[in-house]
């Protein structure tokens, strides 16, 4: 197993952190991993019958119908697998990379202008008490230790290089670490093996315990109260693949994580990965992802940040002006990607947190170092998400996702923009304001996501939420009979909608054409269609503009 990691690391060698590296297939010994998705959740026998001739199928996330085959990475194979019966999608597992910035060799940035020390209550943890953790104090944030008081906080899974369980923040009988797992070795152990201690650093930002030493996390971990799950998905050099990430997400969700942090990404997307994100969302877990450090205006979208239903996080600067990264105090870091994957901004430059003892780069004292990157911003938001879940028992990922976006403080151009999304995350508002109503049908952006949802039998009236930027498509399975007239209408006061109808047998609404669609988008579209076939049809509501609640009314003749 170590050999696998070593072989992969070698194969991936071009490690230069150039902007927007092209998509790269993760290969070792000329073999690649083809991620294959099926409708529903077929069993091993069915999968073997479909694709066994291409290689031994391996379960990756069978609950979401995701399997893989290892095979020679040649272009023709994917096409052949795609033609196999029942296969919905097939893509090579691509390489991802942690979103930590390599700090320049020059002297570390001048320390931030000393922050006025606010008397903040109990934590005596050194770097909190002396104000070094600027990201937890005004004017950067509205976070306060009082927001962490709710006793039961959900498990946060840190999908990364692992967490150093011998570190004073993470060791001893009070250690909050639970259910460690390595998607590389498949063992239930996830010691940080990263050369930069990336995972231990990310974990500290989200959840370092209040224990009188070192640093304080946004949602401080504590055994039995706010637990932290180390899931190893990256190799020693910070590289990961779609397959290891999907295995990591599966482990996290099956072991009770409510928040999944991924501080890594790369270009190139996959329907199979989207499906796993949807499955995690429907299973009650919110995925928080860094948007990447390529720093390009409207540059290529990185994944998993770009998938629907994940919270994409960009990086905020501290009060210290460090050209060229941070020309504006508390502004957006120049390295932070600017594109539609950005949902919110959080502190991501000059961030001190825990690291394993061998890490020297950026070291402030043994076991503590400063890093920067959107990698550091994502776990801040993961911590906020955990606090929102804690303050609202029973909250769904859809509610927590929208709460964090709705309560963010606008930055840059007015309203949502591609550089800063909805703005700077506002922990106090997110934790203390009432949650938005649930969007109970999510995740429902394509047919695969609603595969296990019972079909609606008209007449029925549904309430849901839609957003042209973040949640533009809702799919509803509906029972129809040949010859029946199905009448669909929607009402929204804030979004312009379009309705379409797709007949039984449709596999995806991302290609092909609907059987019928409204001509124009409006606040009150309606559509009638005579079903030509009986079975499970699909009513699709799309937002052409705006966002907000809507009602969908379904009726049928006879
Ligand atoms: Ca601490
Ligand atoms: Ca804005
Ligand atoms: Ca929706």
In this prediction, residue 12 carries a pLDDT of 34
CATH topology of domain 2-98: Alpha-Beta Plaits (3.30.70)
pTM comes to: 0.89
Ligand number nearest CA of 203 is: 1
Exposure of 247 by Cβ count < 10 A (0-12 exposed, 13-18 middle, 19+ buried)?
Answer: buried
Write down the mean pLDDT value for the chain: 90
* Residue corresponding to tokens 């959107």: 374
- Dist. CA 469 → ligand 2 center (Å): 14
H helices of 197-338, in order, are 198-207, 242-254, 271-282
| Extents of the domains making up the chain | 2-98, 128-405+420-432, 447-556
Kindly state the helix (H) or strand (E) to which residue 77 belongs, with its residue range: helix 75-82
Whether residue 426 contacts residue 408, with contact meaning beta carbons closer than 8 Å, is answered with yes
CB atoms within 10 A of CB 468: 17
Residue pair 221/169 in contact by the 8 Å Cβ criterion: no
Catalytic residue among 21, 99, 125, 160: 160
For ligand 2, the distance from its centroid to the CA atom of residue 422, given in whole angstroms, is 6
The residue written with tokens 């907000």 in the block is 548
CA of residue 405 to ligand 3 center, whole Å: 15
- The 10s digit of each residue's pLDDT in 163-200 is 999 999 999 988 999 999 999 999 999 999 999 999 99
d(C-alpha 76, C-alpha 182), whole Å:
32
- Tokens of residue 490, six digits: 């929607």
A 10 A CB-CB count for 417 gives 16
Q: Would you say the CATH fold of 447-556 matches that of 2-98?
A: no
- CA dist 470 and 416 (Å) reads 11
Q: In tens digits, what is the pLDDT along the chain, a chain of 558 residues?
A: 343 443 343 333 333 344 456 788 887 777 889 999 998 889 999 999 999 999 999 999 999 999 999 988 877 889 999 999 889 999 999 999 999 987 644 444 443 333 333 334 579 999 999 999 999 999 999 999 999 987 789 999 999 999 999 999 999 988 999 999 999 999 999 999 999 999 999 999 999 999 999 999 999 999 888 999 999 999 999 999 999 999 999 999 999 999 999 999 999 999 999 999 999 999 999 999 999 999 876 668 999 999 999 999 999 999 988 878 999 999 999 999 999 999 999 999 999 999 999 999 999 999 999 999 999 999 999 999 999 999 998 999 999 999 999 999 999 999 999 899 999 999 999 999 999 989 999 999 999 889 889 999 999 999 999 999 889 999 999 999 999 999 999 999 999 999 999 999 999 999 999 999 999 999 999 999 999 999 999 999 999 999 999 999 999 986
Per-residue pLDDT at 76: 86
CATH number corresponding to 128-405+420-432:
3.40.50.200
- Among this protein's residues, is 375 annotated catalytic? yes
Catalytic position from the list 89, 282, 375, 489: 375
Please tell me the predicted confidence (pLDDT) of residue 63. 92
Q: Do the strands 485-491 and 181-182 form a parallel or antiparallel pair, or are they unpaired?
A: unpaired
Would you say how long the chain is, in residues? 558
CA of 208 to the centre of ligand 1 (A): 5
Architecture of the 447-556 domain: Sandwich (2.60)
Which ligand is the nearest neighbour of the Cα of 205? 1
Q: CB–CB of 231/157 below 8 Å?
A: yes
Ligand showing the shortest atom-to-Cα distance for residue 444: 3
| Residues 263-296: tens digit of each pLDDT | 999 999 999 999 999 999 999 999 999 999 998 7
Catalytic residue among 198, 201, 422, 441: 198
């Amino acid at each position: 197993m170590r050999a696998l990691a070593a072989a992969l690391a070698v194969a991936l060698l071009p490690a230069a952190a150039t902007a927007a590296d092209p998509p790269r297939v993760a290969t070792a010994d000329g073999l690649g991993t083809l991620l294959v998705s099926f409708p529903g959740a077929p069993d091993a026998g069915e999968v073997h019958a479909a694709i066994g001739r291409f290689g031994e199928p391996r379960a990756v996330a069978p609950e979401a119908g995701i399997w893989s085959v290892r095979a020679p990475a040649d272009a023709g194979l994917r096409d052949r697998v795609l033609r196999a019966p029942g296969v919905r999608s097939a893509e090579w597992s691509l390489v991802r990379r942690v979103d930590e910035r390599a700090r320049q060799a020059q002297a570390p940035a001048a320390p931030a202008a000393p922050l006025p020390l606010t008397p903040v209550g109990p934590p005596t943890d050194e770097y909190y008490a002396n104000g070094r953790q600027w990201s937890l104090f005004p004017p950067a944030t509205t976070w306060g230790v009082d927001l962490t008081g709710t006793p039961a906080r959900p498990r946060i899974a840190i999908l990364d290089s692992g967490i150093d369980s011998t570190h004073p923040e993470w060791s001893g009988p009070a250690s909050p670490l639970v259910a460690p797992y390595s998607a590389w070795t498949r063992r239930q152990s996830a010691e940080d093996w990263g050369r930069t201690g990336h995972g231990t650093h990310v974990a500290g930002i989200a959840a370092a315990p209040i224990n009188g030493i070192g640093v304080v996390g946004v949602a401080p971990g504590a055994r039995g109260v706010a637990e932290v799950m180390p899931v190893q998905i990256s190799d020693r050099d910070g590289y990961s693949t779609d397959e290891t990430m999907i295995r990591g997400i599966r482990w996290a969700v099956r072991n009770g994580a409510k928040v999944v942090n991924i501080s890594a990404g790369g270009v190139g997307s996959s329907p199979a990965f989207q499906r796993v994100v949807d499955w995690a969302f429907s299973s009650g877990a919110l995925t928080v992802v860094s948007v990447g450090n390529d720093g390009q205006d409207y540059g290529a979208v990185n994944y998993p940040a770009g998938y629907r239903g994940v919270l994409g996080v960009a990086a905020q600067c501290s009060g210290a002006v460090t050209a060229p990264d941070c020309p504006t105090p508390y502004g957006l870091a120049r390295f932070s990607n600017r594109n539609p994957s950005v949902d919110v901004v959080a502190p991501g430059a000059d961030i001190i947190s825990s690291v394993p003892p061998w890490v020297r780069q950026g070291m402030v004292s043994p076991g503590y170092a400063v890093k920067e990157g959107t990698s550091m911003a994502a776990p801040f938001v993961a911590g906020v998400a955990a606090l929102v879940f804690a303050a609202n028992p029973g909250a769904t990922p859809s509610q927590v996702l929208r709460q964090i976006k709705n309560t963010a403080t606008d930055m840059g151009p007015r309203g949502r923009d591609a550089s800063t999304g909805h703005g700077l995350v506002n922990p106090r508002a997110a934790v203390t304001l009432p949650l938005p109503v649930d969007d109970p049908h999510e995740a429902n952006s394509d047919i695969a996501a609603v595969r296990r949802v019972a079909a609606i039998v008209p007449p029925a009236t549904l309430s849901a939420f839609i957003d042209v930027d973040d949640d533009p498509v809702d799919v509803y399975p509906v029972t129809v009979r040949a010859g029946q007239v199905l009448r669909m209408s929607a009402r929204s006061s804030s979004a312009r909608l379009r309705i379409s109808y797709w007949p039984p047998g449709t596999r995806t609404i991302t290609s092909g054409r609907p059987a019928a669609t409204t001509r124009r988008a409006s606040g009150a579209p309606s559509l009638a269609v005579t079903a030509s076939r009986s079975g499970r049809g699909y009513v699709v509501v799309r937002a052409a503009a705006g966002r907000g609640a809507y009602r969908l009314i379904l009726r049928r003749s006879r």
